Chains A and B, each alone.
Chain A
Amino acid sequence: ETGVTQTPRHLVMGMTNKKSLKCEQHLGHNAMYWYKQSAKKPLELMFVYNFKEQTENNSVPSRFSPECPNSSHLFLHLHTLQPEDSALYLCASSQDGRGGTLHFGNGTRLTVT
């Protein structure tokens, strides 16, 4: 596997469910990101982890809970979501947490019913 891999590719969940999104990067990078992409809106940065430490939380509701056990893996735990949370969730990595060139996965398309 190369690049950034996200699973699952599609997820449908009810508002009372708990689910997790997974991201793995094989690029040897030290920073990982979660972005939300909604139709007609710019990509929204949610969380940044640099060397496993969270360095940015962009005022994300607590129903989204990130976890970064090491520099290669990133999770987004979801619980009691709202229909407006339906979107494409993208994971990205970069060499370090100073931003710069991001390498994205293909995302998880989330639908909340």
Chain B
Amino acid sequence: EDQVTQSPEALRLQEGESSSLNCSYTVSGLRGLFWYRQDPGKGPEFLFTLYSAGEEKEKERLKATLTKKESFLHITAPKPEDSATYLCAVQAGTASKLTFGTGTRLQVTL
């Protein structure tokens, strides 16, 4: 069974304090790893898809990386508007479904 574990569960950063969120996964035949951002009271918003180990993608202050066992979401010099829950999901094998982690709740303070 596919498993996705995200850590930490919650993270509090000061504005400008860079850090990383972790998503470790156990799957058979990774087809894609997805990062989403979810604001309170809203649905998840797509950020990135990574397909193979070594791949990296960037968007503003966010950079996602992928290895054979985990993915990191690096946040450089975060701002308060980066506060949200970040969700990781994997798609594997012949399945069409995505398996989600429980998310990391990020709070960035002034």
A residues within 8 Å of B by Cβ? 4, 6, 40-43, 45, 48, 55-56, 58, 90, 92, 97-107, 109
Cβ-neighbour of B96 out of A41, A43, A97 (below 8 A)? A97
Interface of B is mostly: strand
Q: What are 7 A-B interface contacts by the 8 Å CB criterion?
A: A45-B98, A55-B96, A90-B43, A97-B96, A100-B32, A100-B49, A107-B43
Does B41 belong to the interface (CB within 8 Å)? yes
Give every chain A residue within 8 A of B4 (Cβ-Cβ): 42
Residue of A nearest to B88 (CB): A42
Interface of A is mostly: loop
Q: How many A-B pairs fall under 8 Å by CB?
A: 55
Interface string of B78-106 (1 = CB under 8 A from A): 00000000010101000111111110000
Residues of B in contact, count (CB < 8 Å)? 22
Instruction: Please measure, in the bound complex, the distance between the C-alpha atom of A48 and the C-alpha atom of B34, giving whole angstroms.
Output: 19
Residue of A nearest to B9 (CB): A40
